């Protein structure tokens, strides 16, 4: 399936590069989600942050480079110096040159390197969950766009169905007017209704185009691509089967932003350990060679250097790390409180939307409306009903269809919002 989607996306990108004609892509919700996970540019960009954090871990594992220094090199010498050196020199290379060479290596103490590695590993986990948070937000936006597009598609079918019936009726009335069987004002009334209907069709198409634009950006598809979402059998879990307290627990375990806040506490703890280790001074060991610089013409010496922590014991950074750790604990509590309220609000909104959709679905005459539309059109043509009755039915037909479609859309959107606040799919 994934290979098929990749091939489909590539094909349409390539084909639309040579053709200005819009290409229709028919996708169901599962195919859209798979294409989103593969093609979305924001996800691709965010995924690189994980690689950057991984590189930081690799960098933290590296040892400090040794230092090589060459000093005290004389660029020229006097005649007298050359005479003096020739008496004692036995060198063939730069025999009249004085110089010293030193090789030194910094050795970190108090396990600084290990503590830094552990801190960077926490940073990598944070980057991973931040990527998941970006994906969570984009996925919610994607699914809501799908709900909006499905609503617009279905409502356009309702309006087009009305348009077809009304157009046929007007064509029949034109012939009747020419024959003098019907007053022209009745034809004008139907034509006026048709214009109002066409205007609503255009407005609905504009909304559809705007929602399709958002979806195509999320899927990284060509602007010349036209998307048609095919219906798939999707059932939302009934609110009666959901327990609010269990949703709270699931959110604490699943929401990436909550994981990030918890990991921030670990990060500051690791930072505190690292900052405390910086109180212990590092040691630098060295080996040096000096020619003609002292009592002996060739001198080899060893050395050790260490900072004396009299004034700077990293007090400020240690204090800042302690404060940051304490501050983050309150931020985490505050965020958890916000999450619980978000879930509670989404849960109640879903209950209301689900109940309304279920009630009007059980009581609605929608399955009979399409047959009634055809019957009303025939009855008007046969003069069995008045023009006013027909216009009233057309309005009721459209209103009932729109109410049902809107209720279904809101129910699906509220369910997606609930899944978003919980942080995982509810099955």
371-408 per-position pLDDT tens digit? 788 888 888 878 888 888 888 888 988 998 899 999 99
Under CATH, domain 2-76+97-422 is a member of which superfamily?
Outer membrane efflux proteins (OEP) (1.20.1600.10)
70-85 pLDDT, tens digit per residue, is: 998 877 666 666 666 6
The answer, yes or no, to whether residue 2 has pLDDT greater than 60, is no
Q: By C-alpha distance, which of 190, 115, 125 is closest to 391?
A: 190
Task: Tell me what pLDDT residue 18 has.
Answer: 42
Task: Tell me what pLDDT residue 25 has.
Answer: 87
Task: Write down the pTM of the prediction.
Answer: 0.85
Task: Tell me what pLDDT residue 5 has.
Answer: 45
Give mean pLDDT, residues 172-182. 84
Task: Tell me what pLDDT residue 108 has.
Answer: 94
The answer, yes or no, to whether residue 146 has pLDDT greater than 90, is yes
The answer, yes or no, to whether residue 69 has pLDDT greater than 90, is yes
- For the ranges 128-142, 184-198, 241-255, the lowest mean pLDDT is seen at 184-198
355-377 pLDDT, tens digit per residue, is: 999 988 877 666 677 778 888 88
216-266 pLDDT, tens digit per residue, is: 999 999 998 998 998 766 788 999 999 999 999 999 999 999 999 999 999
Task: Tell me what pLDDT residue 6 has.
Answer: 44
Task: Tell me what pLDDT residue 92 has.
Answer: 58
- For the ranges 143-147, 158-162, 236-240, 288-292, the lowest mean pLDDT is seen at 288-292
The answer, yes or no, to whether residue 12 has pLDDT greater than 70, is no
Encoded tokens for 412: 């699906």
């Amino acid at each position: 399936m994934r290979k098929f989607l990749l091939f489909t996306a590539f094909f349409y990108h390539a084909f639309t590069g040579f053709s200005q004609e819009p290409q229709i892509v028919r996708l169901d919700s599962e195919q859209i989600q798979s294409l989103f996970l593969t093609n979305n540019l924001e996800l691709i960009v965010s995924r690189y942050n994980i690689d950057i954090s991984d590189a930081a871990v690799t960098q933290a594992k590296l040892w400090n480079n040794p230092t090589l220094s060459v000093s005290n090199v004389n660029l020229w010498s006097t005649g007298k110096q050359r005479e003096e050196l020739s008496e004692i020199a036995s060198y063939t290379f730069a025999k009249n040159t004085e110089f010293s060479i030193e090789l030194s290596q910094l050795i970190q103490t108090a396990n600084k390197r290990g503590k830094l590695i552990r801190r960077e590993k926490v940073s990598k986990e944070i980057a991973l969950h931040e990527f998941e948070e970006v994906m969570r937000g984009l996925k919610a936006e994607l699914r809501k766009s799908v709900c909006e597009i499905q609503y617009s598609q279905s409502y356009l079918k309702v309006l087009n169905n009305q348009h077809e019936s009304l157009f046929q009726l007007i064509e029949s009335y034109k012939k009747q007017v020419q024959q003098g069987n019907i007053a022209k004002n009745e034809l004008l009334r139907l034509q006026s209704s048709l214009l109002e209907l066409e205007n609503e069709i255009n407005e609905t198409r504009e909304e559809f185009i705007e929602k399709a634009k958002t979806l195509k950006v999320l899927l990284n598809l060509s602007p010349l691509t036209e998307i048609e979402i095919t219906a798939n059998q999707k059932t939302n879990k009934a609110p009666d089967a959901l327990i609010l307290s269990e949703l709270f627990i699931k959110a604490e375990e699943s929401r990436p932003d909550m994981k990030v806040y918890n990991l921030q506490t670990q990060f500051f703890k690791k930072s505190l350990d690292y900052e405390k280790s910086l109180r212990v001074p590092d040691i630098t060991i060295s080996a040096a060679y000096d020619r003609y610089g002292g009592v002996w013409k060739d001198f080899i010496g060893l050395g050790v250097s260490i900072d004396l922590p009299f004034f700077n014991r990293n007090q400020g950074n240690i204090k800042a790390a302690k404060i940051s750790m304490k501050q983050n604990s309150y931020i985490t509590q505050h965020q958890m409180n916000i999450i619980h309220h978000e879930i509670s609000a989404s849960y109640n909104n879903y209950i209301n939307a689900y109940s309304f959709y279920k009630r009007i679905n059980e009581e609605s005459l929608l399955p009979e409306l399409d047959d009634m539309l055809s019957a009303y059109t025939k009855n008007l043509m046969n003069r069995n009903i008045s023009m006013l009755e027909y216009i009233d039915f057309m309005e009721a037909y459209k209103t009932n269809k729109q109410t049902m479609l809107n209720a279904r859309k809101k129910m699906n959107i509220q369910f997606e919002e609930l899944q978003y606040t919980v942080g995982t799919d509810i099955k």
